[in-house]
A and B are shown apart, each in its own frame.
Chain A
Amino acid sequence: MGIKALDYESLNENVKKVQYAVRGELYLRASELQKEGKKIIFTNVGNPHALGQKPLTFPRQVVALCQAPFLLDDPNVGLLFPADAIARAKHYLSLTSGGLGAYSDSRGIPGIRKEVAEFIERRDGYPSDPELIFLTDGASKGVMQTLNCIIRGEGDGILVPVPQYPLYSATISLLGGSLVPYYLEETANWGLDINDLRQSVAQARMKGITVRAMVIINPGNPTGQCLSEANLREILTFCYRENLVLLGDEVYQQNVYQDERPFISSRKVLMDMGPPISKEVQLISFHTVSKGYWGECGQRGGYFEMTNIPPQTVDEIYKIASIALSPNVPAQIFMGLMVNPLKPGDISYEQFVRESQGILQSLRRRARIMTDGFNSCKNVVCNFTEGAMYSFPQIRLPPKAIEAAKKAGKVPDVFYCLKLLEATGISTVPGSGFGQKEGVFHLRTTILPAEEDMPAIMSSFKKFNDEFMEQYEDNWSHSRM
């Protein structure tokens, strides 16, 4: 028998082209070492609960009650659950058509989509239509669905920031489209330059690529920068002129660690700009329960909101959603709870605020600790983490280190990160997984390890780094002599 259908040679080439470093080589090596008994600190993925962050109490109480509605009939339920959790569980159950075990509307439970629309209106000051909000199994699924609609073939290009969260590059590969990079400027705090953007688009068009959409990640991943209102206006004007749909990845909107640039949604700015732009620019905004101070990654809850997308297109997107039947219902309830939080006076309000603020303030402190820690290391320069959950220090690798990497058959930042892992157990993601300028190296780590562990982690890193630099710079300086 010749080549079988599931032989490597006969797999879809697009699948083979995909790369997703967040769970790539470094992660796999770290998992191996963990199995061998080594203590690993996983900082490769924005996964707060895996690093000790506790879930918020109230949502877990509500969802537990929804899972087991017979509890609500038990006279003793009040011994374990506060009255407002009980009331909220009843509320969400009433919105379902058969509880957590029934497929919902393929776009998500209408009552919860209404809560999302109300949240968006409170946040931005402009009304939002629940019919244009689709709940998904995590924001990633929403991104994949959207790109699947846009990309017809390799002639279609999507503008993606570099560095970027590799969901975008991986999905574009899988769908057979073209990634059109635009570079964020590290020396300008990972700022976005419109002229650079125009150049990227022009170059793509010269290659015959139709640029269809632009991705912005705000706050940024891995870079953390928060876009200013002026920046957002520039971007929206650009999309208007170049006829691009804007894909606004806003999953880190709760994670902002400085006060100069609070989060402003792309939609708010779009609406502020008024017609014609506010009526013409097509925008899809993404949000999730995985980040913020919720960190409920394992639930797989997200949504996307469509603005200025024609009804027929919305119908097609609905059709595709219906093939997957429905997003998971427990996560929809988490989403409802996130957008429709407790109010002052609610029994559980104070605990909720205490827990949330505790997490946010700690994240803010850890962002600072990590940035400062990296900046104290030899040959390491690190922009401040203004938002999101990551630190993306630049590692200035000496030429000898780069050579050693080549000899080992590894990309230089992979080489560095592997050595870091073996020496300290710190599992990071090499910058090459996110994209970077040629010859400039980074790694991405998260600011998520527990605050009390941070000093030890940073000094462990510093020790490794400074010794590494000694080793590879020494050789260099010796050769100079």
Chain B
Amino acid sequence: MRRFVIGRVRNLLETSRQNHQFKRPLLSSSQSPYRFLSSTTLADSPSSSSSSPSTMAPPVTVDTINPKVLECEYAVRGEIVTLAQNLQQEIQKKPDAHPFEEILYCNIGNPQSLGQQPITFFREVLALCDHPSILDKSETQGLFSADSIERAWQILDQIPGRATGAYSHSQGIKGLRDAIAAGIEARDGFPADPNDIFLTDGASPAVHMMMQLLIRSEKDGILCPIPQYPLYSASIALHGGTLVPYYLDEATGWGLEVSELKKQLETAKSKGITVRALVVINPGNPTGQVLAEENQRGIVEFCKQEGLVLLADEVYQENVYVPEKKFHSFKKVSRSMGYGEKDISLVSFQSVSKGYYGECGKRGGYMEVTGFGADVREQIYKVASVNLCSNISGQILASLVMSPPKVGDESYESYSAERDGILSSLARRAKTLEDAFNKLEGVTCNKAEGAMYLFPRICLPEKAIKAAEAAKTAPDAFYCRRLLTATGIVFVPGSGFGQVPGTWHFRCTILPQEDKIPAIVTRLTEFHQSFMDEYRD
């Protein structure tokens, strides 16, 4: 449906542009209220909100806005979520409006909206930095841990004038970048330069910045995993580039084969696309796989040989649930292969939204950019400076995430108990839901080795697929919609992430609180049974 609309809009824009060349009277300097005929005079312009029979459409309508805006999509907060919100409002007005009491949002990686508690130490430090004048008061000692007070002082001393309300350096406060660089070094065993770090309002703006830098036209391609987190497809569309897909292999636990990368690169080249970068999400979203180190080496080698920038989305680096896998940053892997600044251009994205801290609402994150010249760094700095800086509270949080309490610190025990509690709970929920999905008829689900999602595959019977077609919906969206209206559970259809054509999936987060999981499993199982009963061939 959307494809059709986009095509039609494009035609309209073309026509209007041609028309404009001909009818363009010069402005009269008289004071008459005569309205100038604009280029957007279209008889069937549908979106004018004016009730007067105006000869021209207002300047900003769906027909005249940037077509790249129309083209991009973001399913995580798309149609199904809007429907869920409407249902929620209906229940609020009339509690028995639907066969369920509440909506269970399993569509978005937003842990604290589902009851996950923030890390106490982090919040103590942030509160003190927000209101530093209480640091001098004796009552503060009674309300805050000693090491949080100490850390707040430390951080404030790194901020000129202790002014947390001032714009900072456009890359972020230097002292905080130092702490982050130290954290990266402690994690990887290889040095990190604070000047390579750009603090941003979440990882997403940093991704946009890189796409903006790399994409010159639709001839520039970015290799993206399928399935992928749709920020990438949306950002590429917004910047007018081309997404070059590479398929993760569901049969081998969503394996990433370098041979597949090579194949897709060649195909793109043959179509005249200049492939500029490779996006790797590790741990994966929506797929949850954690790459083996050997695999990572192959990827690094590939990027080096092909001159591609490696865009490493590593926001789930603290979310690993299986003992046989470990997170290794791509920087660590590159450096341990002996590859330095001259060998590979690498951007690593990290965020405060995930991990065990789940601080989505703070909008904190950074990118570490290595392997490029000073002139490029200047350009990145310049683009960052137009927005002045990212929010200070988010910057502070990013530094805390990368340098949390250590053994011996007063808050260490409570901090590590909170952290381990959250991580082990996530691992349990991942397993419980994975098992539940695998028990459903026609559903197979790979293990979630990391991240926050499960991405089960559903083999829909022909009857269901036909019913979906009749309803003018994709089959996975059809299933998700039916699930929502029957149970209140919100999944995101796999088509929002990309999948091998002809296969259907949906993404479900592992984030609802543990005590809600049994109800979810029961309702899902019941619904699925009756759905299959209805549509079984």
Contact = CB atoms under 8 A, between A and B. Distances in A.
A311 B47 CA distance: 8
Contacts of A151: 66
A152 B362 CA distance: 32
Nearest to B210: A6
A299 B393 contact: yes
A7 B307 CA distance: 10
Interface string B155-175: 000001101111110100000
B307 A4 contact: yes
B345 A4 contact: yes
Contacts of B394: 328
B205 to A, nearest CB: 7
A270 interface: no
Interface residues of B, number: 118
A80 B143 contact: yes
Contacts of B13: 152
Contact of B112 (A18, A22, A98, A198): A98
Nearest to B85: A105
Interface in A197-237: 198, 201-202, 205, 208, 210, 212-213
B74 interface: yes
B110 A310 contact: no
Contacts of A60: 130-131, 133
B114 interface: yes
A61 B143 CA distance: 14
A310 B385 CA distance: 33
Interface stretch (A62-70, A116-124, A256-264, A376-384): A62-70
Contacts of B65: 149-150, 152, 313, 316
Interface residues of A, number: 114
A6 B394 CA distance: 28
Contact of B139 (A76, A101, A102, A241): A76
B296 interface: no
Interface stretch (A8-16, A387-395, A458-466): A8-16
Q: Which of B139, B359, B387 has the most CB of A within 10 A?
A: B387
A398 to B, nearest CB: 32
B101 to A, nearest CB: 17
A360 interface: no
B410 to A, nearest CB: 16
Contacts of A241: 33-36
A310 B49 contact: yes
Interface string A158-171: 00000000010011
A345 B340 CA distance: 64
B113 A97 contact: yes
Interface in B156-200: 160-161, 163-168, 170
Interface in A96-138: 96-104, 106, 137-138
A330 B202 CA distance: 14
Contacts of A74: 143
Interface in A47-72: 47-50, 52, 55, 57, 60-61, 63-65, 67-71
Contacts of A52: 161
A297 to B, nearest CB: 4
A114 B168 CA distance: 30
B379 A15 contact: yes
Contacts of B309: 4-6
Q: Which of B27, B72, B140 has the most CB of A within 10 A?
A: B27
A403 interface: no
Nearest to A173: B386
Minimum-distance CB pairs A-B, first 8: A329-B361, A102-B113, A64-B131, A298-B392, A50-B166, A98-B113, A68-B127, A101-B112
27 contacts: A8-B376, A12-B212, A15-B213, A18-B382, A45-B167, A70-B120, A98-B110, A100-B362, A101-B118, A101-B362, A102-B112, A103-B353, A103-B361, A137-B390, A152-B64, A205-B24, A243-B36, A243-B40, A282-B60, A290-B167, A298-B163, A310-B61, A311-B47, A316-B65, A319-B74, A324-B204, A330-B393
